[in-house]
Amino acid sequence: MRAAIYTRVSTEEQAVHGYSLAEQRKACSERATELGAAEIIQFADEGVSGAALDRPGLTALREAVDSGMVNTVILRDPDRLSRRLSHQLLLSEEFEKAGVQLEFLDFEWKTTPEGRLFYSIKGAIAEYEREKIRERVTRGKLQKARQGGIPVNFDVYGYRYNPATGKVSLDEEEAAVVRKMFQWFISEDIGISRIASRLNEMQIPTRRRAGQWHRQVVRQVLVNPVFKGDWKYGKKDWHTGLSRSPESVITIPVPAIIDQTTWEMTQDKMHSIQRFSSKKGKHKYLLTGLLTCADCGNTMGGSYIRWWGKAARRYTCRRSGSASPNKGCSPSKAILADLLEGAIWSQVKLLLWDPVAVAREVAAKLPRRSDFQREVESINRRLSKLEKGKMALVDALAMGLLELDEQTEARLADLKRSVERLNDRKGELEALLAGAGDLSTEMNELYERAVSLLTRLDEMEFEDKRALVRAMVSQINVAGRHKKGEATKSMEGIAVSVYIKAEEPGPIPGHTNVSRQILS
């Protein structure tokens, strides 16, 4: 017997109740040995709440159960499995369907109606206690926020928070940086990425004193109302996880770093940038997310840029300093999208051009004559059983063992309806069998349809083409660059290696072992 033990403890439980993974692991291992386990596999989640199903240890346990690696799962208590009754019931049903036995140390698990009822009651009580504690804590935080206090840890660039006093004060050095960011944005013709680059060029440290400023961090600063003195608390409803209405959000005053006028000018410029961006034509890129530059290691994204005097869709590995520490190839590399996409799409079509294989794949997924015949035989057996049941009821009525009451009449009516439904389905199957041709005729029709489909691949919508490429290709490596003067004519100077997804996993799951170089 192979047993799995699952242990879990949240930080709060370990601190308040003295639970520990080591204690659970020892007790569960001893029970596994008592049950005669020849192999024990351990799964654990430390410092993780039991309210969520998405836990690394639990996910690994479920995968092991699904793959048939274990026969028994041992836990200290149902609460270790989950704090939610609905999750407990879902997991226990999942394990039972896989033929895995649940064993609890502090709870007697019985697969009887009474055992399931007690299991459900215990789970409901545990969930109720948890929700009650959470409700009380949340209510206390909201009350503190309404009184102008800071109910949680306040960690915002430009400020310092003293948990002992609950007071927020300005960090003058960081606050000066925040003021510069707002001022640069509204007074100079620069965007968010340029502000991030300037901060990095000036070697201004981040809050953590490590790493670089990134455009997303700068954007979060420019749209956060805390810097004008309004800190928002309770933006999410903890019951549902949804955003609360603006009037329900509590605004707590904190020291302002910028004035109201600066804030409004910043938001106006931010909205105008968004409107301008929304009006620009959107260019589509077939290979987005698949390209990697073999020379610098960066991913290659689509960009509509001017190169050697001509503006066009291109793929480039260049990055701004604010977006990535690796700025990409120098001098810059930009591959024409039309040429690269055309080359890859041609190869995808060549890989797909096998009408016989396509027809066989479709045929393998279609129901066969034998499937119809087996279902007809199954229906005949069920009709025979129903007929026997009907005759047994009639005989019992004739012998006076039953009375023709409402219950008996309802039973006879159910039998009649079941027979009618089965006969209808039997008629449908017999019609399918009568109209079905032989295998060779069927394959000829499928082959003709496959040829028709494959010859019209170029007529597919863009989104369908992109989905097809992503279904077949896992990665594309691009080396080299266009030669000057040949940028719009050929792929000379560029080598492309394509990794095709395979059914049999190689060193990388789901990918072939070697690349296929299609251009050079």
At 519 the pLDDT is: 47
At 270 the pLDDT is: 84
Does 49 participate in catalysis according to the annotation? no
- Residues of the chain under the 50 pLDDT cut: 15-18, 275-281, 486-487, 503-515, 518-520
The candidate with the shortest Cα–Cα distance to 43, out of 69, 19, 17, is 69
Q: DSSP readout, 327-349?
A: ---SS--EEEHHHHHHHHHHHHH
pLDDT digits (tens, 9 = 90+) for 183-217: 988 877 678 888 988 888 888 888 877 668 888 88
The encoded tokens of residue 170 equal 């300005």
At 193 the pLDDT is: 85
At 464 the pLDDT is: 82
Distance CA 515, CA 502 (A): 11
At 189 the pLDDT is: 66
Which string of b and e fits 420-431 if b means at least 16 CB within 10 Å?
eebeeebeebee
- 334-336, strands of its sheet edge to edge: 301-307, 310-316, 334-336
Instruction: Compute the Cα dihedral for 439, 445, 446, 447 and give only its sign.
Output: positive
Distance CA 193, CA 314 (A): 20
Distance CA 84, CA 103 (A): 18
Contact between 4 and 43 (Cβ < 8 Å): yes
HSE toward the beta carbon, residue 124, CA cutoff 13 A: 6
Span between the terminal Cα atoms of the chain, in Å = 56
Burial class (CB in 10 A: 0-12, 13-18, 19+), 438: exposed
Contact between 516 and 497 (Cβ < 8 Å): yes
Distance CA 71, CA 1 (A): 6
Q: Which of 10, 82, 92, 497 is catalytic?
A: 10
Distance CA 150, CA 165 (A): 10
The encoded tokens of residue 27 equal 């007790």
The candidate with the shortest Cα–Cα distance to 293, out of 263, 325, 334, is 334
